[in-house]
């Protein structure tokens, strides 16, 4: 069964304290792994797509990496405005998206 698990459920960091969010997946025929950011009261906003193991994408303080079993979203020297829920989704061979439950990130000043 295709599955996506995100950990931790919540993460509290001090401003400037770097860390990583994890997205573990099992899917037949990966057609892409996606990261989205969701602010309270808003819909998810697209961040990255990764297609193959070893691939990396960066945007400001965020870097996403991919292996055959998991993806990491690395956050370097985060700021309070990086506080949000980060969602991971994978697309398998049937082209439908399977979503994780998300990691709620809180950055304290």
Which residues are at the interface with another protein (CB under 8 A)? 4, 31-32, 34, 36, 41-46, 49, 87, 89, 91, 95-102
Q: Evaluate whether 87 touches 64 at the Cβ level (below 8 Å).
A: no
- CB nearer to another protein: pick between 41 and 109: 41
- CB nearer to another protein: pick between 23 and 75: 23
Min CB(65)–another protein separation in Å: 17
Min CB(25)–another protein separation in Å: 11
Neighbours of 27 (CB within 10 A): 18
- CB nearer to another protein: pick between 67 and 96: 96
- CB nearer to another protein: pick between 45 and 56: 45
Min CB(28)–another protein separation in Å: 16
Q: List, as own/partner pairs, every contact residues 66-71 make where C-beta atoms lie below 8 angstroms and the sequence separation is at least 24, other chains included.
A: 66/33, 69/24, 69/25, 69/26, 70/22, 70/23, 70/24, 70/25, 71/22, 71/23, 71/25, 71/33, 71/35
């Amino acid at each position: 069964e295709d599955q996506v698990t995100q950990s931790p459920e919540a993460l509290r960091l001090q401003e400037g304290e770097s860390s990583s969010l994890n997205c573990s997946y099992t899917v037949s025929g990966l057609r892409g792994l996606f990261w989205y950011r969701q602010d309270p009261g808003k819909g998810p906003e697209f961040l990255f797509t990764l297609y193959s193991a070893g691939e990396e994408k960066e945007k400001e303080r965020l870097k996403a990496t991919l292996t055959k079993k998991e993806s990491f979203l690395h956050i370097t020297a985060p700021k309070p405005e990086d506080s949000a829920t980060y969602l991971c989704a994978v697309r398998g061979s049937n082209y439908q998206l399977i979503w994780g439950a998300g990691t709620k990130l809180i950055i304290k000043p």
